[in-house]
Amino acid sequence: MKAVCDVRVRGAIGVVELDRIADLNDLKRRFVDEGVWVRPLRNIVYLTPALTIDDADLNALTGAVRRVIGRET
């Protein structure tokens, strides 16, 4: 079972740190299936949205992250 260890934001970069990611490729595929492009690396999911992102797109991005990671924990 994976758990969220920490969530950090610095400027426009968001990080969701997980205990571990067992299948990185599957996690990437599920993000793409949700319609978002994020960068999971090792046990961290990086979010680097454009500085011009609007509220609707930001809500779509964070909602997809919650749904995908929620299935992992």
pLDDT of residue 1: 38
Label residue 3 by pLDDT band (50, 70, 90): confident
For residues 35 and 60, give the distance between their C-alpha atoms in angstroms, rounded to a whole number: 9
pLDDT in tens, 12-46: 899 999 998 889 999 999 999 999 999 899 999 99
For residues 20 and 41, give the distance between their C-alpha atoms in angstroms, rounded to a whole number: 10
pLDDT of residue 70: 86
Domains of the chain (ranges plus CATH)? 4-72 (3.90.1150.10)
* pTM, 2 dp: 0.82
pLDDT of residue 2: 58
